[in-house]
Structure 1
């Protein structure tokens, strides 16, 4: 699968907002610039995303993690680009033929969620370049991940493993809830909690606030930095046309 540009967004650092897990920002503002979100399943984009992931995890003192080697319909890596530079990456894991990353530390929790009928999707391997630590980058990666997991693949429940220090940020800014208490994440050698949110809730928040960054000062949320509904439909169309082949579409119909 070749890398494709699926979204374009303005890159700016609104006053008074920061992503707590992204320490070391140079504090520079990047007004009047745009960045792109691309699929990064293979080629240079994937290598550059992997390099950013290694750098940011090493800086935080985490063990190195790898991007999934098997970028199938159940694993999709996204990357954000400022020109030729990769400034962010996120991997979407869909429950199916392979275990989710969260199954390693929170297998009892994920088993209960599955037993209750939840279709689980995990957003993992998040890294943002500190020189571009804009909420827009995080919001754009999450929004495209949401489109893949919910709009295309019809999964209904989001999972996130985060350091306990950052849990409050994701509770407040994305509306997540803690569903698994602090445990050791063996993969990175650090504590983690498991957060969850229903994609229907995320859909509703995007509908209320998406594409309205001017509201960010009044709403303590990342959703104003999400794409507008019109932009979302364009991203959805590009993903369907460019990322998912006819053979994969047939596979998805059979699975769903």
Structure 2
């Protein structure tokens, strides 16, 4: 990672993420959000990254997704719906949603990646993996690298600690594949294919959550200086101690 804003990110398979040059050493998010959405507070950071479970919350996240997709010229209208197998997280500044992603859990109807990458995903299921995916990732210019890292970390916690997943998949545009590989440890699976949901090419990537957990233990909470040196997002994740507190809090409110 260099001193510039992070590259455009992808979600399904690509979502624009514009970020400004960093102004703060750590992320802080606005508290002015619906009362039924839980804030998580640690000793080091207070953040308003929430699990969305209201029509209003899903509408705000959908607006951001469609704005970012349209900016990149991708096809389709993308609307979040109330689905027990999909967990949507958002980050907000001054009451405005600046980032969102959805964690899709495996179910009898599968995950969205099965539409074009079923063979690759089934190979993991056959080995006993519990799979999930990140989709509908969007980040606007009001966010920061730390907020982006917090979204990824919270999705990992929901996947690993609340739903016992072992691997996370993501579909990405070819020009952003190396970002996910370098910064978050994703690995490419299979060949480039066309994703009909956005009429764009996509690679399927996967990250092993056991490996990601080791990176959090090693680098979590060490901050931007280490992130710049290691060229990784993991130093911008919460520290192992903070992570334990977040896990306990989430399990208590389930």
Task: State the TM-score, normalized to the length of structure 1.
Answer: 0.83
Residue 91 of structure 1, CA deviation: 0.4
Partner of 1:175: 185
CA–CA distance in structure 2, aligned partners of residues 226 and 198 of structure 1: 16
Residue 241 of structure 1, CA deviation: 2.5
Alpha carbons of 1:64 and 1:116: their partners in 2 closer, same or farther (altered >3 Å)? same
Aligned residues: CA RMSD: 2.1
2:232 to 221, 226, 235: 221
Residue 46 of structure 1, CA deviation: 1.7
Residue 98 of structure 1, CA deviation: 3.0
Residues 1:31 and 2:24 aligned together:
yes
Partner of 1:57: 69
Residue 222 of structure 1, CA deviation: 0.4
CA–CA distance in structure 2, aligned partners of residues 167 and 24 of structure 1: 14
CA–CA distance in structure 1, aligned partners of residues 121 and 19 of structure 2: 38
Runs of 4+ in 1 over 6 A off after TM superposition: none
Alpha carbons of 1:67 and 1:227: their partners in 2 closer, same or farther (altered >3 Å)? farther
Does structure 2 conserve the Cα–Cα contact (< 8 Å) formed by 1:25 and 1:130?
yes
Does structure 2 conserve the Cα–Cα contact (< 8 Å) formed by 1:182 and 1:193?
yes
Does structure 1 conserve the Cα–Cα contact (< 8 Å) formed by 2:156 and 2:209?
yes
Which structure is richer in relative contact order (CA contacts within 8 A, separation 6 or more)? 2
Residue 26 of structure 1, CA deviation: 6.7
Residue 68 of structure 1, CA deviation: 4.2
Unaligned ranges ≥5, structure 1: 1-12, 245-256
